[in-house]
Amino acid sequence: MKLSEQLSKLKQTPEWDVIIIGGGASGLGTALDAASRGYKTVLVEAVDFAKGTSSRSTKLVHGGVRYLEQGDVSLVREALKERGLLAENAGHLVKNQSFVIPNYNWWGGYFYTVGLTIYDMLAGRLSLGKSKYISKKKTIELLPTVEQKGLVSGVVYQDGQFDDSRLAINIAQTAVEKGACLLNYTKVVNLLKDSNNQVTGVQIKDQETGELHELKGKVIINATGVFTNAIMKLNDTVYKKYIVPSQGIHLVFDKSFLPSDHALMIPKTSDGRVLFAVPWHDKIVVGTTDTLIKSHSLEPIALEKEIEFVLETAQRFLAKKPTRADVLSVFAGLRPLAAPEKEGKSTKEVSRSHKIFVSDTGLITITGGKWTTYRKIAEDIIDKAISEKKLPKKECKTEHIAIHGNQPTTTLDRKNHLYIYGTDIPKIVALQNESPAMSEKLHPDYDYTVAEVVWAVRYEMARTIDDVLSRRVRLLFLDARAAVSASEKVAQIIAKELGHDEAWIQKQVAEFKALANGFLLTEYKSN
């Protein structure tokens, strides 16, 4: 996946069947779906692929235990099917994760065992394993640092775990391999309409050169997540709110706080939310919150009340109590929830199901949804375009399309950090072996190498330090201070690959340090 090839494809295509605005999970999935059916497809993303919500999840591929408790069986069944397909199609990134629910009352063990048995049954042949009741002793064995005071029993169940932005990049590569044209740092600045006020294309701006282009297409799809309302302002004559952003945050800690391959799941916190502590890239990710917010941003910042809530809850359930000083990184993401019909609904009441609607102008917009069901969302979007007579009918093919890098999880050594590259691992290793400089580490405490930065720039369309350290390798999300420390070295590597000068390097480093401050707690922000 090379930028030069994508730009060439763009210039050689006078009209597209499908134009997609937005390079997050839904947009990328739709590009893959459309291209694999044989439609001429282009996707444009204003910044980097998965820059927003799609790189800031809880890193779970799951049916949603909470939705089952709320009685939304159809959403859970759909998500469990998609979880199973993802495990088959992207085995290098999706793995079977064992979760333990510790119970501090006598009835909890039985209640959750019954509920999770139903959860397993809904997954059918794609089930990841059987849920079971376990004793207090076994619970402590599986979660050595769980709070033992008042502990009665536990329940073990299986769900999926993944790397979100790596999956986004691999879906983008797969879409390109199927013939799609994908461009990051390309912003839609206007919608083109005919005399009947029907959308016929988009005007785009290359964010690096400032050049403007017009793209003509039969179907225009708005998959911009929390930025949906901004595109709808270009589309509608009367303003209406289509989505409400809900913020979720996560704190990242050293593995010593939960030295186990099992994840901790608290089904009901003090305010009724679900909290997870999940092993991820040799760290522990703890979250999340669910806070309706009034405004959205490309770099959402965790609120102090959210940080305190996650810390206090983690301290209640872990014997080794994490403090603010132990937080390696804090990241916030915004969920693009479909706006409720009535004002004032809490985030827990707003549906997580995706909604697709067609404007009077013909623009197709997707709201809601979640990572696990990205493939089904994409299928529904293209099927909607077909039902609207905008495209000739062709069947969806993505159920059994392997995602770029797919490798059976049983053949991977997950102790080697390169496992996320799947079938590309030999190419990364070959790049590392080209010279001693290529195998140099970006930071002494982490195994990421110069070769991985070069790979990201050459074959994954990374353009900035942020692209590399946030979404190609995940250092900013794992250890913000280490990422800041590595930023200048990364800038120099990118500059060498892309032909940038010293002024670009210094500007990039300054911008990245400012951005990284949002991943640090207040008292640790750098100047």
Express each pLDDT in 167-226 by its tens digit: 999 999 999 999 999 999 999 999 999 999 999 999 999 999 999 999 999 999 999 999
Q: What pLDDT does 261 receive?
A: 95
Q: What pLDDT does 277 receive?
A: 95
Tell me the whole-structure pTM to 2 decimals: 0.95
Q: What pLDDT does 341 receive?
A: 62
Helix, strand or coil, per DSSP, at residue 111: helix
Q: What pLDDT does 352 receive?
A: 58
Express each pLDDT in 116-166 by its tens digit: 898 888 888 888 889 999 999 999 999 999 999 999 999 999 999 999 999
- Domains belonging to the chain, first-starting first, are 3-53+166-242+346-400 (3.50.50.60), 243-338 (3.30.9.10), 413-524 (1.10.8.870)
User: How many Cβ atoms are within 10 Å of 505's Cβ, its own excluded?
Assistant: 19
The overall longest dimension of the chain from CA atoms, in Å, is 72
Q: What pLDDT does 441 receive?
A: 97
Kindly compute the dihedral angle of the four CA atoms of residues 347, 83, 46, 33, in this order, to the nearest 10 degrees. Answer: -130
Q: What pLDDT does 445 receive?
A: 97
For the segment 55-83, the average pLDDT, to the nearest whole number, is: 82
Quote the percentage of the chain above a pLDDT of 90.
76
Backbone angles phi, psi at 368, to 5 degrees: 70, -160
Residue 374 tokens read as: 């990205």
For the cut 80, the answer to whether the pLDDT of residue 345 exceeds it is no
Confidence of residue 343 (pLDDT cuts 50, 70, 90): low
479 vs 110, higher pLDDT: 479
Q: Pick the range with the lowest mean pLDDT from 51-65, 227-241, 393-407, 408-422.
A: 227-241
For the cut 50, the answer to whether the pLDDT of residue 464 exceeds it is yes
DSSP-assigned beta bridge partners for residue 422: none
Quote the percentage of the chain above a pLDDT of 70.
95
CA 376 – CA 81 distance, rounded (Å): 10
CA 483 – CA 479 distance, rounded (Å): 6
In 3-state terms the chain splits into helix, strand, coil percentages (rounded to 5) of 40, 25, 35
- DSSP characters over 113-146: HHHHHHHHHHHGGG-----EEEEHHHHHHHSTTB
62 vs 329, higher pLDDT: 329
Express each pLDDT in 314-329 by its tens digit: 999 999 999 999 999 9
For the cut 90, the answer to whether the pLDDT of residue 112 exceeds it is no
For the cut 60, the answer to whether the pLDDT of residue 84 exceeds it is yes
CA 416 – CA 424 distance, rounded (Å): 14
User: How many Cβ atoms are within 10 Å of 199's Cβ, its own excluded?
Assistant: 22
* Three-class SS of 11-52: HCCCEEEEEEECCCHHHHHHHHHHHHHCCCEEEECCCCCCCC
Q: Tell me if 15 sits within 8 A of 44, measured CB to CB.
A: no
